[in-house]
Amino acid sequence: MPGSSGNGSVTRSTLRQQIADALRDEVLAGRLQPGQEFTVKEIAEQYGVSATPVREALVDLSAQGLLDADQHRGFHVHEYSVADYRGIVGARSLVTDGMFHALDNGHFRFAETDDPRRAAALAGVRRRGEEAQRAALAGDLTVLIGYDLRFWRELGSLFGNPYLSDFLHRLRVQSWVCAVQQLRRLTDLRGALWSGHTDLVDALAQRDVKTARSIVAAYNAHSLALIERLADG
């Protein structure tokens, strides 16, 4: 029946996304290490599901640059280099700079006081930023990554271009996957992680693009210096 087929398709699609999200979190948490190999069958057995949504999820993660496919053998976690990280940071800088440029030229009003929905969305982004800051200052990398990804995704959506927002999210996931391969070596991250989220929101809410650019530039320089230092041992 058409209805049953449709429901099955939705269920499989949802399961596919859930598996992809779970595996991405495993990589971000460092439980799936760079270069670690696994097969569709192993993941399907681990989650107690059929092979089809697992295979689809792994293909999705490969397309996002988190996994590499080994022909006839399975998949392995992508191993990023410092040069990769530098390139990813440069790419995400181009995206955020484009957003700031649009704001600076009046193509978009970031904070419209007469629009309660936009004001509520902005307040939500700021709350996400506050949580990310707390986690950064406490050195809680796992919590920070979760809130930081939500912060940037919601912040990006306020600029009204879902394609840019989705691309920025993908870049930020990749940059975190790359960074954690180095950051997980430290036993104490307190004071080592960027925590300027609310400063950035406040600058953008005031249409102070110059300050926003300065905050992001300082963030990028800080992140690159930290990862390069850790990679050098």
According to DSSP, residue 37 is labeled: E
Long-range contacts of 10-16 (CB under 8 A, 24+ apart): 12/52, 12/53, 12/56, 15/49, 15/53, 16/53, 16/56, 16/57, 16/60
- Name the nearest CA neighbour of 23 among 64, 70, 82, 71: 64
Q: How many angstroms separate the CA atoms of 33 and 73, rounded? A: 18
Q: Is the pLDDT of residue 8 over 80?
A: no
> What are the φ and ψ backbone dihedral angles of 75, each rounded to 5 degrees?
-135, 160
Model confidence over 101-112: pLDDT tens digits?
A: 888 776 665 555
Instruction: Let me know: does 122 contact 111? Beta carbons within 8 Å.
Output: yes
Q: What is the model's pLDDT at position 4?
A: 36
Overall CATH class of domain 2-77:
mainly alpha
Q: Would you list the domain boundaries of the chain?
A: 2-77, 82-231
Give alpha helix (H) positions in the chain. 2-28, 40-47, 51-63, 82-104, 116-138, 141-157, 162-183, 197-205, 209-231
Overall CATH class of domain 82-231:
mainly alpha
pLDDT bucket at 73, cuts 50 / 70 / 90: confident
Structure tokens at 90: 């440069």
- Name the nearest CA neighbour of 150 among 21, 47, 53: 21
The pTM score is 0.85
pLDDT bucket at 12, cuts 50 / 70 / 90: low
Q: 68: part of which helix (H) or strand (E)?
A: strand 67-70
Q: What is the model's pLDDT at position 103?
A: 82
Structure tokens at 123: 């307040």
Question: What percent of the chain is predicted at pLDDT more than 90?
Answer: 66
For the residues 28-44, what does the mean pLDDT come to?
90
Question: What percent of the chain is predicted at pLDDT more than 70?
Answer: 91
